[in-house]
């Protein structure tokens, strides 16, 4: 729960990555991850706000041999709180291969800083606490450029990297 800038939080998360599959939420999180450390095992979302965790759960469920990391934002996560509960249920049934980071700046930074209601809840109390890392971050807009990959290119290199 320590406060970092979003960029610093992403740098810290990316420093520790080895062969994990990474799903990043739409908006500045994907752009800043691309800028920090692009790799074929990164799946950058450019839409479907709130669904990063669901995609990660699909991968983690289908492939227990892979370790999956998901990075969501607070605005996206508030759109799909049910998915946090599904994650908790799957952990209860034995899922151990998905680690979920929620970077919480209490606002929609990429659309002008409109406030969310995330300060009122604890995400880690809704999802599985041991696999949910809720990190408060500052609300700077960020200046990372658009990702110069098409969605189909992202899919192709991602699948090539993880399907033998």
Partner 1 sequence: MIKLGVPYSNMQATLDIVNTNEGEALAMAAGIELAGKEAYVYMQDDGYLQALNVMTTLLMPYGITLFINIKYREDLEHHIVANKLTRIICEYIAEKMPSI
- List contacts with partner 1 (CB under 8 A): 23, 43, 45-48, 50-51, 54-63, 66, 80, 82-83, 85-86, 151-152, 154-155, 158-159, 162-163
* Residue closer to partner 1 (CB basis): 47 or 148: 47
* Residue closer to partner 1 (CB basis): 96 or 119: 96
With helix as H, strand as E and coil as C, how does 29-98 read? HHHHHHHHCCCCCEEECCCCCCCHHHHHHHHHHHCCCCCEEEEEEHHHHHHCHHHHHHHHHHHHCCCCCE
Backbone angles phi, psi at 42, to 5 degrees: -90, 130
Q: How far is the CB of 82 from partner 1 (least distance, A)?
A: 3
Q: CA–CA distance from 71 to each of 23, 31, 39, 119, 164 (Å)?
A: 6, 12, 15, 18, 25
Q: How far is the CB of 5 from partner 1 (least distance, A)?
A: 28
Q: How far is the CB of 56 from partner 1 (least distance, A)?
A: 6
* Residue closer to partner 1 (CB basis): 141 or 156: 156
Determine the length of the chain: 164
* Residue closer to partner 1 (CB basis): 9 or 51: 51
* Residue closer to partner 1 (CB basis): 85 or 117: 85
Q: How far is the CB of 84 from partner 1 (least distance, A)?
A: 9
Q: How far is the CB of 22 from partner 1 (least distance, A)?
A: 12
User: Do residues 40 and 73 touch, judged by C-beta distance below 8 A?
Assistant: no
Nearest alpha-carbon partner for 92 in 128, 41, 118, 124: 128
């Amino acid at each position: 729960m320590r406060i970092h800038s979003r960029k610093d939080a992403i740098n810290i998360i990316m420093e520790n990555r080895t062969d994990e599959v990474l799903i990043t939420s739409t908006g500045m999180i994907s752009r800043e991850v691309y800028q920090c450390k692009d790799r074929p095992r990164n799946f950058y979302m450019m839409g479907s706000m709130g669904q990063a965790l669901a995609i990660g759960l699909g991968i983690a469920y289908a492939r227990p041999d892979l370790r999956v990391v998901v990075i969501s934002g607070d605005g996206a996560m508030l759109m799909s709180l049910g998915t946090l509960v599904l994650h908790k249920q799957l952990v209860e049934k034995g899922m151990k291969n998905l680690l979920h980071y929620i970077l919480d700046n209490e606002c929609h930074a990429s659309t002008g800083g409109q406030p969310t209601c995330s300060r009122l809840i604890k995400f880690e109390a809704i999802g599985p606490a041991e696999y949910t890392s809720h990190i408060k971050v500052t609300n700077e807009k960020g200046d990372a450029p658009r990702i110069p990959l098409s969605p189909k290119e992202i899919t192709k290199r991602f699948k090539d990297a993880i399907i033998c």
